[in-house]
Every structure is written in C-alpha cells, then in structure tokens.
Structure 1
Amino acid sequence: MDDHQKTLEELLCKHRKEKKELQAEIQKIKHGVPKGDKKRKKEATEQVAKLEKELGEKHNKELAELNESTSQEKPNNELETKMENLSTNDAETTEVKKSSKAQRRREKKVAQERERQHRIKEQEIKNLDGVRHIETEKLKSILKKLGLTFHQIASDGNCLYNAVCHQLSQRNIKATNESLRSEAANYMLAHPDDFMPFLTKPDGDSLYTEDEYKKYCQDVASTTTWGGQMEITALSHVLKLPVKVIQAEGAILQVGEDYNQSPIVLIYHRHEYGLGEHYNSVKEAVAENEEDGF
C-alpha cells in the first residue's frame, strides 16, 4: 500500500468514526424531544439536518484536499508511466510536413482528439486512486461474500425505480419506473406526517410547507427527480416488501423489516457518477460474469 492509499484509508476511517459519533448525537437529540411536541420535533429535525450537512461538507472538503495534494506531489514521469500502462494503441508521432490548408485542418483535428484521449487517460489514472474506485472495490468484496454481483442500472434520474423494477422482475412481478413513482408519490401524499418532518429545503435550514411538500410529491410522480431514503421507505410500504440497501461505508440500510418476505436488495453508490449518488441492482454471481458491468 503506497503512502497515498494509506493516508486515504486513514481519512476514510476517521470519517466513519465521525459519522458514528454524529449518529449517536442525533439519537440523543431525537430522544430529547417530548412526545407530541411538534415544535421541538421540528427544531430537532432542523438541527439534525444542519449537523449532517456540515459533516458531509467537511468530509468532501477533506477528500478534495487530499486528492489535490497527492496529485501535486506525484512527479510527471510517474504520470507518464501510468498513462503508458493504460494505453494499448497510442498513435505514433508523425513527421510534420508542409501541407495544404485541408491537411493542416486534418492535423489539427487529430491533435485535438489526441489531447482529448490524453485527458481521458489522466482521469482514468486519478480514478485508480480515487474514492469511486475504492468504493467500487469495497462493494465488490461485500457482494462476493453474499454470492451476488452488480446489475448495472442507467444513470438517468430513474435509477432507484429501475433498480427496484429489476428486483421485482426476478420475482416475476412486472413494474415500470413510472408506476413505482406514481405509487410512491401517492403513499407519501397519504402519509405526510411520516415524511414531511424529515424533508428540508436545499438550504438545509427550513422545512417544506404543505404546498411545497405536495409539489415535491408531484415531482416524484411526474419527473425524473432522484429518489432517496424517503422514496425507498414509501416503496417498501407500497410493495409490502422489506428493502436492503448495501453501501460501502456504514451498515446495510434496512427498511420494512415488519414485512415477512425476502427483501429487495439494492446497492447505493455515493461516488459512482459525476453527480455523485446512484443506485444499482444485484443478481446472483456467475463465475464467468462475476464482474458484469464493471
């Protein structure tokens, strides 16, 4: 393990510890709210959201600083060596000759493409040491122990619902992301007290009004807005099935444990795409396809 990998592991270990400490603090805050005291409950919810936001921003900043300092420390010859290992068909440099305007345009286009490929390779190198790669490797290890592997879901805003559709198809249950969105939204509209207190505005400092909550549910039903834990909870109740969400950091999230059925199993990726969070589904591992999709 190189110094960067060791430092990154130490930082991730520190983050896990801080998350556990925050969860303990959140439990104290929740237990300190008198039953039926809506005002105190609202204040507690706002305080929890603020603490979670601050910790998340702190962790993202620390990871970014680590990656930046590491990239600055690595010498150019090491970067070039890694790029050579990743490349299998680099074009040989051609001798520059006098040419027509058309030829010069073609050469310029080739140079632009070569530069684009160069940037792609640089990003691939960063990914080898980046949080996305580390997260994926941890998830592979967890799934392997469970005899499972990834089933890739497209990143189009419907990943949660399409992942659930895939899980249902393995039970011979037909569903679409549109139908699941509609059912989840209707359940949330019918049970506002179960969801509204935990939904904060993007600034993280205030709760939704009733009208804003209704608009939120309408968006769940009719747009490709991303789904999270609240929508997972709603789907669990709609389908009357427990849901397990496997993640690289922290314990497996379990919802709907009162339903006496085998659970739907999803994978949560915090760093899968440029926008961050993503859901995949799982399937039984087959030896020759054990790393399907990755």
Structure 2
Amino acid sequence: MADAAVASAAETLEQIQARHRKEAKDLQGRMTSKKKNATKKTRKGINDECAEMERLMKERHAEEVLRVNGEGDKDQEQEEREQEESADDVAEKLSAVSLTTPQSNTMAPATGATNSQTPGKKRNRQKERLARRAAEQEAAAIAAEQEAATMTDHRGVERKQMQGTFEKHGLREHEIRPDGHCLFSAVADQLAQVDVPLDTGSGDGSKEAPYKTVRRRAAGYIEAHGDVYAGFLEEDLGSYVAKMRDTAEWGGQLELLALANVYGVEIHVVQDRDTEVIQPSDDGHDKQEGDKKRIWLAYYRHGYGLGEHYNSLRKVA
C-alpha cells in the first residue's frame, strides 16, 4: 500500500485512472482463468478469493484517487486564494485612487468630482474547479468506452452463435431461473414437453417441485450405479449423492448422463456452435434408436452473472 501511495503521488489523475483500468483488466483475466480451472469442489473458495481480490483492488484505487484529488485541491485552493487576495488588494487600491479632471487655467479645480475605478467581476474559482473535474471525468469515461469497444463481447458472441442453432432446429428459448437448480428445472420442463412423466411422488404420497423430483432421481441413479460413477468424483459417493439430492449444488455432465438413463431420452445440449448428444444406455430401455424422445437444453458459460447456466429449448409452435 505504501508503494502504491508513492506511485500515485507522482502520477496525474489521468495516469492513475489509466493504470487502474489496466489493473482491473489484468485482475479480470486472472479471475477468469481461476474460475475456468475450478472444479465443483473448489469453485466456492475460488469465487470467494476472487471477490476479495476485487474488493481490495477497488479500495486501493479509491484511496489513490482520493489522495490525489485531495492534495491537488489543497494546492490549487492555496494558489487560488493567494491570487484572489492579490487581486483584491489591487482592486482596493484602485478604488481608493481619485482621478481629477483639470479645468481651464482660469477656473478653480473642481472639488469632490472623482471617478472610482470599479474592479472587475470576481472569478468563481470553485465553479471552475468543478468544471475541470467534470471534464476530466468525462474524458476518463470516453477512454473507458473506447477500451471496452475493443474487448471481445463473450456474452454477445455466445448468444449469437447459439441463436443460429435454435433457428436451424426450430427451437425457442424458455428462461429458467439461475438458482443452482437450473439443469434439473430445464430437464423437468423438457420432459413435460415430450410427455415423459417425472414420477412426482416423493415416496410418502406427497407432491414435490418438478426440479426436486429430477434431482432425486438423478442422485438415486448415481447411487445405484456407484461402480460406474465413483471414479469421476472428487469425494466419496455417499456425500456427493446427498449433496446433489438435498442442496442447490449445480448439476453437470454426470447428472445429464444419469438422467438420460433414468428417463430413456436423448439429451441434446446446445453450446456455442456445437450440439452435444447424450444417449441413454440400453439397460432398462427397449426403445429403438429412432423411437427415443429428444429433449433440448441450452448451456451458457458467459450469459449469466452466476456463471454456468441451463435453459430449456422448446419447439416453435
């Protein structure tokens, strides 16, 4: 922090703002890399670490700008006060000077006829300072917009690429709430579109939310086929199954594989320009390849603030 203070003292406000933008861009790149390489087990810790890094950077930036603005204003105000005092002194002296107009030699000089020099209107120093500061902020905003214009809009590119696939297959997007249950909610919505029952009985005769049913059945399948799935897990099977069944833990590839088998459907996942097809195994399903029902999901990596997200893709009526 001391080094940053020394550096900021030697920089102008524009130089500091330019450095801040570069540091923010570099930090964003580091955070993106960390999040990209995160696993389900480490995702929360990495998100917390990134949030703390961003908070500390913003606090440091605010302190540096405040320090420079404070010192600059102090020096400028002192200089302006001295200028104003000097101008006031001159104006006061001029106002005290009486200028007499000489008459002809035969006439007595006029008495009491004096002209006072009226000083000019004082400058509004505070208004000028505010105007300069506003101009600096506007210039910084323009520079930031120009820099942003040169950066890749990953969210826009992703949506544009996926929209082409939607149109090709006659699909329209049905928004799913980004609440941690999105994969299971999207699958539940799709199963309803193709008339595949969810088995909504929770075991005690009561009803449960569709996404909970899908969660429960995915977790149950993984637990029942632990010999297949355990090798892909970074924790013991029992803990993983309980977390996936009872919490808002994000679902992923393993859950999609399980659900394809639970419901005997092909799951088509649209991502960027590609479409991944997840086929159910033949165990427990006697349907021929062409008889299997298809459900469609949209998978986003950049389109939502919380990160990865699934939406349901319904057929255009």
- TM-score normalised per structure 1: 0.49
* Structure number with higher relative contact order (C-alpha < 8 Å, ≥ 6 residues apart): 1
Q: Which structure would you say has the larger Rg? A: 2
